[in-house]
Amino acid sequence: MMMTTSQSDLSSVLFFPFIAPPNGGKGTQTSLLATRYGMPRVDMGSLLRAIAKEASPLGLKVQERLAQGQLVDIGIVIDVLKDGIEKQLKLNAPKDNEPLGFILDGFPRNVEQTEALMAMCEATGAKMAAAIYLNVPNEAIVERAANRRICADCGAIYNLASKPPAKADVCDVCGGVHLEHRTDDQPEKVQIRLAGYALETVPVLTYFEDKGLLKTINGDAPVAQISQELCTVMDSYLKPASAAV
């Protein structure tokens, strides 16, 4: 498998993969950290969709795989990731030799992707700083899904137990009255997703733990407490952005 990562110098880059079960609160926490530390949040799905719109050689490769309904092979995935990182570096050039952190949102998802990502780091000089694991019990995940409601008009998310709308069945943001309980949030659907997560992603935790890179956070705590614990970890690698509190 031909990969081109060795042609790049990403020595200023620190990677922080975030791993959590479905409905584990990863989106909320990574958004807060991205703001506090001024670091990009990289989502592989978004990168693949964006580059598929380009007429570049790499974009055409992705277009071909997607058009044929095929999975994009890991070599191309890593090259897409590298391309996205390089574009971000042009927009956010590190200052005063400070490292630039990148949140990897939901990547890697399996051991094959993890090994390829580590090989990319070795080839380009990027550093795998820490893999952040939000540990949430399955029963808490099922309960969150049962209580989650999403506004069909603006996408605002509520939890009937911990973050209900001020007025029952009415969105606080847009006043919409279509608060939906998604099919994916039905208990049987959640159990299927959790089973897939256990099979595919849990071995990634073992991989990072064996290398001393895993940082486990109690993801079943209040949002503010989780954020505080995450900041304690991140502060040992990065300085908060000047505008952050």
Active site residues: 26, 109, 148, 182, 193
From the number of C-beta atoms within 10 Å of its C-beta (0-12, 13-18, 19+), residue 220 rates as: middle
Q: What is the SS3 assignment for 119?
A: helix
Could you tell me the sign of the dihedral formed by the alpha carbons of 237, 85, 29, 36, in that order? positive
Instruction: Compute the distance between CA of residue 164 and CA of residue 160 in angstroms, rounded to an integer.
Output: 4
User: Which DSSP helix (H) or strand (E) runs through 41?
Assistant: strand 41-42
Beta bridge partners of 215: 132
Contact 157, 145 (CB under 8 A): no
What pairing do the DSSP bridges indicate for beta strands 148-151 and 157-159?
antiparallel
State both tokens at 6.
């060795």
